[in-house]
Amino acid sequence: MNPVATPFFFYGLSAVAVLSAVAVIMRRNPVHSAIALIFTLLSLAGLYLMLYAPFVAGVQIILYVGGIVVLFLFVIMLINIDRMQREYQFNKQWLVALLAAALLGALFVAVYVKGQAIFPHNAVRFPEQLNTQQVGRMLYVDYLLPFEIASLLLLVAIVGAVVMAKKRI
């Protein structure tokens, strides 16, 4: 089935993503920020779907929205929000911020000027029906060793978190 109204959905999802990302840093109330973050992540999942990557979109929803943001909210609910709202919201690091913003702006301009030329044209496009299967084949056949090394790193991080959080083991 061919996609319909592609530009409409692309611009719609991008607008939601950008606006709610701005809301994440602008809102004084951290719970509102976390909820805005959910909208950013959900619209990113929509953009992944538009790129014919349903598996990545599903994992984005399960891991980031269903897992990580839930834990964010969980922690934020235990903080005294009244005190936090009176604190000064921004760090005084305008020099670094200016530099980063300038670099990002330059990147945007470069992409806009060069246009399509910088993106690969003949990338292999897998059929949508077999997306998950292709991801599985990549991870467990073609790139098995790097994948296992990454999982070992994650295990070390989990054990480290437990050791640091628990006084008596």
Rounded alpha-carbon distances, angstroms, from residue 98 to 90, 101, 112: 14, 5, 21
- Shortest distance, CB of residue 3 to another protein, whole angstroms? 10
Rounded alpha-carbon distances, angstroms, from residue 76 to 64, 87, 124: 16, 15, 43
Nearer to another protein, 21 or 31 (CB): 31
Rounded alpha-carbon distances, angstroms, from residue 88 to 13, 24, 28, 98: 32, 16, 10, 20
The span of 10-18, 25-33, 115-123, 152-160 binding another protein (CB under 8 A) equals 25-33
Exactly one of 108, 133, 138, 148 binds another protein (CB under 8 A); that residue is: 133
Cβ atoms within 10 Å, residue 64: 18
Q: Residue 123 and residue 99: Cα distance in Å, rounded? A: 33
The span of 5-13, 59-67, 84-92, 157-165 binding another protein (CB under 8 A) equals 59-67
| Residues 96-115, mask of contacts with another protein (x by CB under 8 A) | --------------------
The span of 97-105, 113-121, 132-140, 142-150 binding another protein (CB under 8 A) equals 132-140
